[in-house]
């Protein structure tokens, strides 16, 4: 894997127009829904992220009667396919890379196995973790089950989508992680005229068919996060433009606009782009956020608040350990290179003790831990650090293939 060393030019470009990709979260949901519908969806603006291309290729393999699927380190792909294949007749093998084999899957497996005794899912290595051998069954009854969603909201989404044709009553145990992603799934279904009820702790979808229609994938709000970090580190008056993002979005990470306000970043909305502008220097010393519903913002908040030398407490962080890397442990290691301490307050909360100064912090290499969001969260700090290097830099292709090209538009060279 490659390494990128980043430096800023003498003058950082003002008002560059940056492109973000289409949402991989929405794209991956639509690919599964299209497969379930018998290819009745015409999907426009599909993401070109590695995760989406991978899911598209694996569904194509399924359509050609292949039965072995390598999901690499794509958690969404593995979880969606686990539910999808469990309700198809046949024997299937699902695996991934070494990082995927550390990501728990047992809550989803337990829920699926409780639906029909004919469905058999066997752990091939460590109990509760990938890889899996799935004896799937084409059931002909309403699905009723209970799911522990405290590790991942994707368990809920996987079951909801797989259960549309049969009808599903899904009771949610424990407080779900990343509620905004569950809401995204439900709002997407609503756009496709799929009816549901969400009452208290139970989601109910009657049996229904996905109708033939065209749908357009939104641009990805999560990919705007590094540009919010960049803007937060800049001088008052700096601004940049991001294509395609809309205020009325089904994505939870549109909350970035409010999360970065205390750092002096103002968001204004236009017809086909948003404008980020540094309007003030922050005058705060310590803040607390609950990021349980928007976990993909966590790493960017940590680097932005470190860059602005502001202490930050984040709660709702437990499930950060089950992402592409153990993001809490990884960020403890990498933030320490900036003179910053990340303290574990509890299993579900962390505190950033900001650095005194970045003035002597040059020639730093950040280990991305093979995690696209770590790479993109640290890259904007090249505004403050000379010769900032990011290892495994091409990992950004997982969600934002053109990230390094877009960064150069801002006046950086690599």
Strands (E), 52-165: 68-70, 90-95, 120-123, 132-136, 143-148
The two three-digit tokens of residue 81, written as one number:
């396919």
pLDDT of residue 145: 95
Q: Under DSSP, is residue 342 helix (H, G, I), strand (E, B) or coil?
A: strand
The DSSP call for residue 285 is: S
Q: Per-residue DSSP letters for 223-241?
A: GGHHHHHHHHTS-TT-EEE
Q: Does the annotation mark 296 as catalytic?
A: yes
- Tell me the pLDDT of the chain (414 aa) as tens digits: 588 999 988 778 889 999 999 999 999 999 999 999 999 999 999 999 999 999 999 999 999 999 999 999 999 999 999 999 999 999 999 999 999 999 999 999 999 999 999 999 999 999 999 999 999 999 888 999 999 888 888 999 999 999 999 999 999 988 887 889 999 999 999 999 999 999 889 999 999 999 999 999 999 999 999 999 999 999 999 999 999 999 999 999 999 999 999 999 999 999 999 999 999 999 888 899 999 989 999 999 999 999 999 999 999 999 899 888 999 999 999 999 998 999 999 999 999 998 777 666 789 999 999 999 999 999 999 999 999 999 999 999 999 999 999 999 999 988
CA 383 to chain CA centroid, Å, is 25
For tokens 């010769």, the residue is 387
pLDDT of residue 33: 98
Q: How many residues does the chain have?
A: 414
pLDDT of residue 414: 82
3-21+219-413 and 24-216 agree in CATH topology: yes
pLDDT of residue 360: 66
Query: Pick from 259, 272, 237, 240: which is nearest to 406 by CA?
Result: 240
The architecture that CATH gives domain 3-21+219-413 is Alpha-beta prism (3.65)
Instruction: Convert 262-285 to b/e letters by CB count within 10 Å (16 or more is b).
Output: bbbbebeeeeebbebbbeeebeee
Radius of gyration of the chain (CA): 21
Query: Pick from 218, 295, 269, 223: which is nearest to 43 by CA?
Result: 218
The CA distance from 118 to 136, in Å, is 8
Task: Sketch the domain layout of the chain as residue ranges.
Answer: 3-21+219-413, 24-216
Give the burial class of 116: count Cβ atoms within 10 A of its Cβ; 0-12 exposed, 13-18 middle, 19 or more buried. middle
Query: Pick from 168, 259, 252: which is nearest to 205 by CA?
Result: 168
Q: Which of 51, 253, 293, 296 is catalytic?
A: 296
The CA distance from 104 to 126, in Å, is 10
pLDDT of residue 359: 65
Q: Does domain 24-216 have CATH number 3.30.420.40?
A: no
**Which helix (DSSP H) or strand (DSSP E) does residue 300 occupy?**
helix 298-307
CA 236 to chain CA centroid, Å, is 30
pTM of model > 0.85: yes
């Amino acid at each position: 894997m490659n390494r990128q060393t980043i430096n800023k030019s003498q003058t950082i470009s003002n008002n560059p127009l940056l492109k973000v990709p289409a949402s991989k979260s929405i794209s991956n949901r639509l690919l599964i829904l299209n497969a379930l519908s018998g290819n009745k969806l015409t999907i426009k603006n599909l993401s070109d992220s590695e995760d989406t291309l991978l899911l598209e290729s694996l569904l194509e393999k399924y359509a050609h009667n292949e039965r072995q699927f390598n999901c690499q380190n794509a958690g969404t792909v593995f979880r969606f396919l686990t539910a999808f294949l469990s309700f198809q007749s046949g024997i299937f093998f699902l695996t991934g890379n070494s990082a995927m084999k550390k990501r728990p899957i047992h809550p989803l497996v337990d829920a699926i196995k409780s639906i029909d005794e004919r469905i058999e899912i066997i752990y091939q290595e460590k109990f509760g973790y990938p890889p899996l051998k799935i004896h799937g069954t084409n059931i002909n009854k309403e699905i009723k089950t209970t799911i522990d969603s405290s590790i991942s909201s994707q368990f809920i989404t996987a079951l909801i989508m797989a259960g549309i044709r049969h009808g599903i009553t899904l009771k949610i145990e424990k407080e779900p992680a990343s509620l905004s992603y569950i809401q995204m799934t439900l709002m997407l279904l609503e756009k496709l005229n799929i009816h549901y009820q969400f009452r208290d702790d139970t989601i109910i979808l009657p049996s229904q068919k996905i109708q033939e229609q065209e749908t357009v994938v939104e641009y990805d709000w999560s990919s705007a996060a590094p540009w919010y970090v960049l803007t937060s580190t800049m001088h008052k008056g700096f601004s940049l433009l991001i294509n395609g993002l809309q205020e009325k979005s089904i994505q939870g990470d549109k909350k970035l606009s409010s999360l970065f306000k205390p750092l002096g970043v103002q968001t204004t909305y236009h017809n086909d782009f948003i404008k980020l502008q540094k309007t003030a220097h922050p005058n705060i010393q310590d803040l607390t956020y609950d990021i349980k519903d928007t976990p993909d913002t966590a790493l960017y908040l940590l680097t932005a608040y470190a860059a602005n030398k502001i202490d930050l407490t984040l709660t709702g962080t437990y499930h950060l350990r089950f992402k592409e890397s153990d993001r809490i442990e990884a960020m403890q290691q990498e933030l320490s290179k900036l003179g910053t301490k990340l303290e574990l307050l509890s299993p579900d909360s962390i505190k950033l003790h900001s650095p005194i100064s970045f003035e002597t912090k040059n020639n730093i290499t950040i280990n991305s831990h093979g995690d696209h969001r770590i790479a993109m969260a640290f890259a904007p700090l090249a505004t403050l650090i000379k010769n900032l290097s990011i290892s495994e830099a091409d990992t950004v292709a997982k969600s934002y293939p053109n990230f390094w090209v877009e960064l150069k538009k801002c006046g950086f060279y690599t």
